[in-house]
Amino acid sequence: MVLGLSIILAGFVISVLSLGFATDVWARLAIVLAGIAVSLFGIIGILNPAYLKDAIWKK
Amino acid sequence: MKTRKLIVWFCFAALITLSGQTPAPPAAAAPPPAPVPITDADVKNVEAPKAEARAKGDPDGALTGTVSDIAVADSKKGLTIGDLVSQVGQNKIAINFVWTLVAGFLVMFMQAGFAVVETGLCRAKNANHTMMMNFMVYGTGMLAYWLIGFTLQMGGVGAVGNLGGSPVLNAEFTVTLFGKTFGLFGQNGYVLMHNGAYDVAVMVIFLFQMVFMDTALTIVTGSAAERWKFSAFLASSFVLGAFIYPIFANWAWGGGWLANLGANFGLGKGYVDFAGSGVVHAVGGLSAMAMAIIIGPRIGKFDRTGKPFAMPGHDVTLVITGCFILAFGWFGFNPGSTLGASGNGNLRIGSIAVNTMLAGMAGAFTAMFYMWIRYGKPDASMSGNGLLAGLVAITAPCGFVNPISAVIIGALAGVIVCLSVEFVERVMKLDDPVGAISVHGTNGLFGVICVGLFADGKSNYGGSWNGVPGSVTGLFYGDSGQLVAQLVGVSTLIGFVFVFSFVLYLIVDAIFKHRSKPEDELAGLDIPEMGALAYPEFELKTSGLHATPSGD
């Protein structure tokens, strides 16, 4: 769970960093999209499966 | 006969001659008359209706609303130019106050729409509990927002010109990053009394923003319905209204760092969200997803292999009635977000209202046809969700796009909501009884992106937006920077708001436990949680298990 939340938050941090470390609009666009992808992976690929391990319907 | 021929030829020749004539050059334009200054004496000469005439009544309205109705500052001096100018200013602000308040009243009524939509989509044994959550979220959210949330959101917004430019909400907490100022939360206005917040304009802003916040809160009750302990619901709603919603709303609407992405980093006009696809709906939808993950699915929603089962709601008439109430309330939500009808380009309210209704219509159509083609029937509840999806998606761009774009946005939203419901249920294995995550979360994010694509650069709200001169313009009309600003907003919603709400809900879970007892859930939450059935004269099935596989 902590790993999942950290990855989701990391995606947001990547997007914010694009403001400081890139000036070209397309470079910023690419970095922000990467940040969104990281966050979505954190939710769909890490956090939710961690909760599904103990899902009520598996018991 | 000869004479008649001659006349015909004469007319024909005259016609030819006239049609070939070049127009005479216009006479030299006369110089415009020199402006004549109006003096107090001119104003005093304006005739007021005679007392005898007024005494006979005014059936045609010609004697009501005249010079005699203008407030005079000094009765000894009589009516002056200064009195006239003050009256004009007062009229503008009065129009904007009334517009914003009435729009806020419409948005408040949306709570009734949410209540009946959610209750209709839940089973009868939970109807009292679901209704009660939707009822008390109004009071709980308002209390949290009055105590804390409003200050965090709007305490540093500065003057709102349409409402009189009240400057008392002027303290924003900021940090410096990359050499730029990042506004994080407001600090003025606690309980509407702190630092001059006892102010007529502040009251109007509070009412309008409060009902928006409550809309976000009620979204979460949908995703956790039929298994949420009432005490945990109250605590969760309080933290959402006090902290989660206001923080993001400050960043977008309260003068925070997202709004200033244009001024600070040259990204379009900064993050733009006209009426809250992101601020209201995506915040509510992502919080709803966090809650759905933590609380888990209802008993019987999935079998041991993870195959989902349909758990149909008990009253489709409530669902569709609620959708109509919500669509009606949306006319307050979107056009009201101008915060005024007079001045600063606010006559665009007509365009905003039309965009809103067009997008809702398009969403309902495409969702209905999607379900019809895919499953063989035009599903009523998903058609309703399609309407809501279209409305959610147009909420951010409604002030900046043309009617064709509004229809495209709504049509796409109607399909997106169907795909998202399937993804959330079948891939993520999340149980969202009313489709709140898909309607509000997915389409809220989609709406935010649509601003960066479809904004046509034709709007003009006082010549600038978020302090950047010019009109909001999306990628399809030439400004790629606006799309980047919108995507930074999307990333903030997914990466920060989701995590923030997840952590706060975990804290609430540690104290109150979100999940009701299994035996209560199977019996229905009306008796265990509320102490009374919604429908005491009907015999209810108490099994949580259903035999119809979802989507089959």
* Amino acid, res. B516: S
- Work out whether the CA dihedral B188, B193, B195, B198 comes out positive or negative: positive
pLDDT of residue B122: 96
Q: Can you read off the two tokens belonging to residue B25? A: 């050059």
pLDDT of residue B549: 39
**Assign residue B296 a region: left if phi > 0, alpha if psi is -120 to 50, beta otherwise?**
left
Q: How far is it, in rounded angstroms, from Cα B170 to Cα B183?
A: 12
CB atoms under 10 Å from CB of B404, counted, come to 11
Q: How far is it, in rounded angstroms, from Cα A43 to Cα B171?
A: 35
Number of domains in chain A: 1
Q: B36-39 contacts: CB < 8 A, separation 24 or more?
A: B38/B81, B39/B81
ipTM score here? Answer: 0.97
Indicate the helix (H) or strand (E) that contains B341: none
Among chain B residues, the shortest Cα distance to A44 is held by B428
Nearest to B477 by CA among B450, B443, B447, B445: B450
Q: How far is it, in rounded angstroms, from Cα B395 to Cα B373?
A: 28
- Work out whether the CA dihedral B111, B116, B117, B122 comes out positive or negative: positive
Q: How far is it, in rounded angstroms, from Cα B143 to Cα B138?
A: 9
Which of A28, A29, A35 faces B495 most closely, judged by CB atoms? Answer: A35
Q: How far is it, in rounded angstroms, from Cα B85 to Cα B76?
A: 18
**B505 to chain A, closest Cα gap in Å:** 13
Residue B212's Cβ-side half-sphere holds a number of Cα atoms within 13 Å equal to: 36
Q: Who contacts B45 (Cβ-Cβ below 8 Å, separation ≥6)?
A: none
pLDDT of residue B547: 38
Mean pLDDT per block of 10 residues along chain B (552 residues) reads 57 50 60 82 87 91 90 90 94 96 98 97 96 97 98 93 86 96 96 93 96 97 97 97 98 97 96 98 98 96 93 95 97 96 92 98 98 96 97 98 98 98 97 97 98 96 93 97 98 98 98 96 95 87 48 38
Which of B297, B481, B494 faces A56 most closely, judged by CB atoms? Answer: B297
Number of domains in chain B: 1
* Residue in B499, B515, B550 to test binding to A, most A beta-carbons within 10 Å: B499
Kindly determine whether residue A35 and residue B267, on different chains, have CB atoms separated by under 8 Å: no
pLDDT of residue B10: 56
Distances from the Cα of B192 to the Cα of B108, B154, B197, B207, B253, angstroms: 19, 11, 5, 11, 18
Strands (E), B180-311: 180-186
Kindly determine whether residue A36 and residue B491, on different chains, have CB atoms separated by under 8 Å: yes
Q: How far is it, in rounded angstroms, from Cα B416 to Cα B392?
A: 12
pLDDT of residue B543: 53
Place of tokens 């956090």: A47
B490: chain A residues, CB-CB within 8 Å: 36
Is A15 part of the contact surface with chain B (CB cutoff 8 Å)?
Answer: yes
pLDDT of residue B221: 97
Among chain A residues, the shortest Cα distance to B300 is held by A57
Kindly determine whether residue A5 and residue B303, on different chains, have CB atoms separated by under 8 Å: no
Q: Who contacts B89 (Cβ-Cβ below 8 Å, separation ≥6)?
A: none
Which of A9, A18, A38 faces B499 most closely, judged by CB atoms? Answer: A9
pLDDT of residue B491: 98
Is residue A58 assigned to a domain?
no
Q: Which domain holds residue B288?
A: 89-530
**A9 to chain B, closest Cα gap in Å:** 5
A31: chain B residues, CB-CB within 8 Å: none
Is A48 part of the contact surface with chain B (CB cutoff 8 Å)?
Answer: yes
pLDDT in tens, A17-43: 999 999 999 999 999 999 999 999 999
Is residue A12 assigned to a domain?
yes
Among chain A residues, the shortest Cα distance to B545 is held by A57
Q: How far is it, in rounded angstroms, from Cα B185 to Cα B171?
A: 9
Place of tokens 């502040």: B202
Is residue B192 assigned to a domain?
yes
Strands (E), B178-224: 180-186
Is residue B36 assigned to a domain?
no
The strand pair at B180-186 and B172-177 is best described as antiparallel
**Assign residue B182 a region: left if phi > 0, alpha if psi is -120 to 50, beta otherwise?**
beta
Q: How far is it, in rounded angstroms, from Cα B420 to Cα B283?
A: 17
Kindly determine whether residue B495 and residue A9, on different chains, have CB atoms separated by under 8 Å: yes
A58: chain B residues, CB-CB within 8 Å: 304
Is residue A59 assigned to a domain?
no
Distances from the Cα of B247 to the Cα of A41, B379, B488, angstroms: 24, 38, 16
Q: How far is it, in rounded angstroms, from Cα B13 to Cα B485?
A: 68
Place of tokens 């903030």: B492
CB atoms under 10 Å from CB of B221, counted, come to 27
Q: Which domain holds residue A47?
A: 2-53
Q: How far is it, in rounded angstroms, from Cα A50 to Cα B4?
A: 102
- Using beta carbons and an 8 Å cutoff, which residues of B are at the interface with A? 177-178, 261, 264-265, 267, 289, 293-294, 296-297, 299, 301-304, 306, 427-430, 480-481, 483-484, 487-488, 490-492, 494-496, 498-499, 502-503
Is residue B325 assigned to a domain?
yes
Q: What's CA B394's distance to the chain center, in Å?
A: 9
A5: chain B residues, CB-CB within 8 Å: 499, 502-503
Among chain B residues, the shortest Cα distance to A12 is held by B495
pLDDT of residue B548: 42
Is residue A32 assigned to a domain?
yes
**A25 to chain B, closest Cα gap in Å:** 6
Task: Name the β-bridge partners of B185.
Answer: B173
Looking at B145-282, list the stretches that DSSP marks H as alpha helix, in order from N- to C-terminal side.
150-154, 200-223, 230-239, 245-253, 261-265
Kindly determine whether residue A26 and residue B492, on different chains, have CB atoms separated by under 8 Å: no
B302: chain A residues, CB-CB within 8 Å: 55, 57
Is residue A7 assigned to a domain?
yes
Rounded (10°) angle between helices A25-41 and A2-21: 180
CATH of residue B379: 1.10.3430.10
A36: chain B residues, CB-CB within 8 Å: 487, 490-491, 494-495
Rounded (10°) angle between helices B245-253 and B480-492: 160
Instruction: For residue A50, name the pLDDT band (cuts at 50, 70, 90).
Output: very high
A26: chain B residues, CB-CB within 8 Å: 480
Q: How far is it, in rounded angstroms, from Cα B418 to Cα B449?
A: 19
pLDDT of residue B426: 96
How many inter-chain contacts (A to B, CB under 8 Å) are there?
98
